[in-house]
Amino acid sequence: MPPSNSIRSYAMMGSLLVSHVALAANSHVRRGAMETTSFLDPDSLAQQEQAIVSSLRDSSKHRSLQTECPGGALSGACNCMADLFGSSLDKGCTANDVEFVAITGIQVFDEGAYLDENDIWQGACRGNDDYVNLSFTANIDLSADRYDVGMYINSEGGSAYTDFSVPGSEETVAVVGGTVTIGEVETYPDKCPGFTHDVSGGATLIDFPFSTLRLKCVDSDGDAQGLLDFDIAIAWESNVNANTYCSPDNESTWPVPGTSSKCWKATTRFNVPVYVPPYTTGSLYYPDWINDSQVCLNDGEDPEYMLKVSRCHSFPMVIEKMLANIEVLTIQQCMGNDVPMYYSNGDFCDQKVDFEDWESKYTPGSWDSSDQFDTLKECCVAKFWYDVEGCIAASPKELTFSFTINIDNVVTPIYCQDADTMGNALEQAINIGLGNDSTSAVTGIGCATLSRNADTGNTECGGCLTGSYSGDYDGTYPDSYFSSSGSTSITVEVSTKSADCTDSSCLASLYNSIIADFTAFVSSGDLSNEIVSYAVNRIPPIPELWNALTETSFSTSGSYTDPFDDPNGVVAATSVTTSGTLSVDGLPTLTTSSAQQEASTYFETAITEALDAQGALPDGASVTITGFNNGQVEYEVTFSSTSEADATALVSNINTSLSQSTTLSSITSAVQTESSGGTLSMTSLSVNANTEGASTQIEAIVATSTGQLTTTLDTTGLSTTETDEVKTYFQEAITESIGSSLPEGSFVTVTNIDSSGVVSYEITIYADPSTDLGSMVSSFDDTLSQSLTAIQDKVIDDSTGVVQATSLTTSGELSVSGLSITTGAELTEATNYFQTAITDTLTDQGVLPDGAVVTVTGFSSGTVEYEILISAESSTDASQAVSQIKTSLGETATLSSITTAVQTESSGGNLSVTSLSVNSNSLGTSTEATVSKVTSTGQLTTSVSTSGLTSTQITEIATFFEASITSELASQGVLPESSYVTVTGIDSSGVVSYVVTMYNDPDEDSGAIVSSINSKLTQSLTSIQSAVQTSSSSGSASVAAALSTMTISSFSSGDTTGIANTGSVATALSTMTVSSFTAGTTSGVPDNLWYPDFGDQASGCLNNGFEPGYMKEDGNEKYYLFSSKSECCDQWFYYDPYCATSSSTKEKFYPDQST
């Protein structure tokens, strides 16, 4: 016979989802020797469960109930026996020919079901809206042979006869057959089987088997044991070959009684030994203390002792009320949104996700409410206040990063509770791909954001769900949740615990490993599978994720938080000093401090430029000459780096570069060129070798400060290279504006110049850990806001190529005796004598700069009036030179030298000054002017051979060439006043290199002047040759011999600097103005307030965030906490002048208030 159908309503998640479950009983029953055969399949339960899941996935599987019964009398559900037959049963059933007597055995197939000590099935029904899968045997009494027997059992718990009280209730119709004799069972293809017996007066079918039924967990009679019960009605035919043909899909063919005398209905309900909890599944949650999951569940797996309690006490029907009564778990834990928290393990602060029940931070009450912390710093400050830094160093480190991934067939939830549940499911799946030490937190689903309230631990929603809260839910699931199209972006934050990593490089490797593994997890489709699996198997399930399909890749910024950075936002760095020694030939003896300072400047500049050209000099690095010793130049290179490993690599690059001959040659050439314009000539110097010294690293911190300058610069038409050139000009101008307040190793970088002329910059600051970075950044901002014009002017000047310099004219009077001038010729002669005497004397003393011009402006009674014109690259340099000259002229020895020089010069002339005496000097006034510095280089090809000559002799030859070139250009009238010539080198082939340094009026055409100089030199080779040879006659014999046959064959011009540039960059900047300054963001600058450190190892004032709790209590902040270090020092360490400025390693005095 074909199986009949049982149809039940399965209400879940607010949607009516109907499952068709096949039930059948086809038995051959022999009285006395019970032999049974049934259609029960051992896998039927699994198949039924799968059918339920399938129906839940497809909400369209609704069964259309009839609206009119075959009998025509009733409307609504037409599955009960009387409903199907109609008014013929108005009088009820009056017969008992076939009667259901008792249930004799039962088998329950639900997972987790078990028999207790009273032979009652527990764990099958999880609530009074749940269903149980079971089969049973029963005893059925027969008074006569009956055919086409149909048994009606209401699977929804209502009446089997007629169910007016439960609209839509449906019946299980068991069409049964069997015999009580050994005779054949009646078999007609279109008829239902029946019962027959051969015992007059009646018989009983013993243990007649019912096939698998699915009944609703209903205890309607309220028996003391809380057992499931059901109602049954039976219909039959008295004759064989009745019209019923039993089609399971058509209720109109089901067996129905022809009259009231052909049916039986139970007068009481039959109990089944299956316990039914007195509450609704899904509305009552219980705390899961068995599986260590620390969540609240409503899966019906309540422990027996909880069920017993529930029979006597009504549990709250919502999770929040349950928590209020049980006072054990937090909403945050119950919802499964666990996050890593820090706690004290006695030795340091550790981190974990799963805590025991008594460890919850959010448990009401004060007994342990502060034992868990969001950050390592909070934990260490609270639990290890006596050694916070030690706690942080010993504790595991937390690496955090975020990523986004798009998931198809998922829509943005419309309730916060849905977002929370979806987020929890996604986290469970993501955590599998991240590994055991990582925990994820979904922070965004589409336009909805999720965050955790730090005080309560509850999930809070924002974005398009702002105002919604967890628990704000009406029990329905919109159709949009079952979308099969569209894509939603999911944002995730990941926290990874590392107990092994001890530095940043280890964490970098760990991060890369996590990303690689998770990339494989996503691309393989495993993440999609895990999401769907969890969403389906969860109790209750999460239908909005059943069709989730993640894209095969995810997006991350590639950055992560480094816990080895200071926990207060300060970024650790290292300050490096590496030393070395250059071996130098031709290094003059430096007997005075001014000579040592000048030589230091030349070498510092030369080493800096050479390393920079090789790409070996770190940004912000500085070179310092620390000493000169027997042909050796000792130096240090200081720079800062964000890691010790990087610092070591940079030191290696510096040493490698300085070991190369090309670098040493560059240093040699640079020193020769630089010294050509000073009082200390090192034109024959040669740098031959470098010896590496020691390197040291000390603790530092690094911060960045950004800002913008609003300008009128139009970058249209500028190439990338030209724009980079403009960036360089702004970098140098900003650096110069900040000046000496920028710590060593720090530097400025212009990061962008947009089309509207906004110049964005970043200042990278390396400083001592005790530095008040906040105050420093503020001072930078103040300085830049007041330096707009200076920045503007420097950028424009630098872009033109014109090098601004200073011309300073200082005057004075020499008081003399024994001088008598009566004629014009004598006046001229006296003027020359004094000009030469002053010039030579000051030059010999090393105080008269190259190019300086001494002019005697007049004679009066007993006085000689003079002016000295000095040109230098800066006003400071010019003023320093004037100061040295004035000091020298105030000394008796200088005045005596001038007297002697005048007397010597005049001995062959018409003016007799043998009785002259220069007695004193009176200072006059100084006048400063801006000039342009121009340099022009060139070479003379000669036949001079320097082989066999000493460095001193080569220097002597260079002096002859300098004087001859200067004299020739001056006589031709092309050498501007205050200009000078320097020979920078004479190589072994006889090539003489020189540079002409000029300080010109800015309005003069410097380009034309340089052209005139080059033209005259080309025409004057013979004259220069003759002058050199003539001069050499007064020199050493070796020099005279080397020059006696020397010839000058050619002249070639070299490079020129300081000539006005008229290119695109200069044009674009020529009319630019800088109108405003805007401060930007800072990083690495702690937001903590400064507080006095009164510990055993006091460090003055600190802002590491570890201030004792009493300093933060109400009313105490104004005494202990300050916005700047200087304020803190003024208040508590006013007697220590080093408090606000000294490094953290310097010992300090402090008030001992620890006792």
| pLDDT score at 709 | 94
CA distances from residue 913 to 22, 893, 899, 904 in whole angstroms, order as listed: 141, 19, 9, 9
| pLDDT score at 316 | 30
> Tokens representing 560?
């992560």
For 53-66, give the secondary structure using H, E and C: HHHHHCCCCCCCCC
Pairing, β 114-115 against β 121-122: antiparallel
Task: Look at residues 816, 821, 862 and name the one whose alpha carbon lies nearest to residue 837.
Answer: 816
The predicted-structure confidence for 159-183, as pLDDT tens digits, reads as follows 777 643 333 334 444 444 333 322 2
> Tokens representing 324?
């209020």
| pLDDT score at 176 | 41
d(CA 603, CA 120): 99
> Tokens representing 1050?
């050619």
What number of helices (H) and strands (E) belong to the chain? 27, 42
Q: Which residues of the chain have pLDDT under 50?
A: 1-78, 163-191, 193, 196-201, 291-294, 307-337, 362-369, 470-476, 1144-1155
With beta carbons less than 8 A apart as the criterion, state whether 319 and 334 touch.
yes
> Tokens representing 392?
């942080």
Report which DSSP code applies to 754: -
For 474-513, give the secondary structure using H, E and C: CCCCCHHHHCCCCEEEEEEEEEEEECCCCCHHHHHHHHHH
| pLDDT score at 73 | 31
Using CB atoms within 10 Å of the CB of residue 646, give its burial: 0 to 12 exposed, 13 to 18 middle, 19+ buried.
middle
Task: Look at residues 345, 344, 319 and name the one whose alpha carbon lies nearest to residue 332.
Answer: 319
CA 164 to chain centre: 66
d(CA 916, CA 147): 162
CA distances from residue 398 to 251, 341, 395, 557 in whole angstroms, order as listed: 66, 10, 9, 18
Query: 1149-1152 — which CB contacts under 8 Å span 24+ positions?
Result: 1150/1092, 1150/1093, 1150/1094, 1150/1098, 1150/1100, 1151/1094, 1152/1094
| pLDDT score at 568 | 55
Report which DSSP code applies to 3: P
| pLDDT score at 1155 | 35
Q: Beta partners for 23?
A: 4
Pairing, β 549-550 against β 397-408: antiparallel
> Tokens representing 326?
């049980």
d(CA 571, CA 436): 29
| Residue 112, SS3 per DSSP | coil
d(CA 850, CA 847): 10
| pLDDT score at 42 | 29
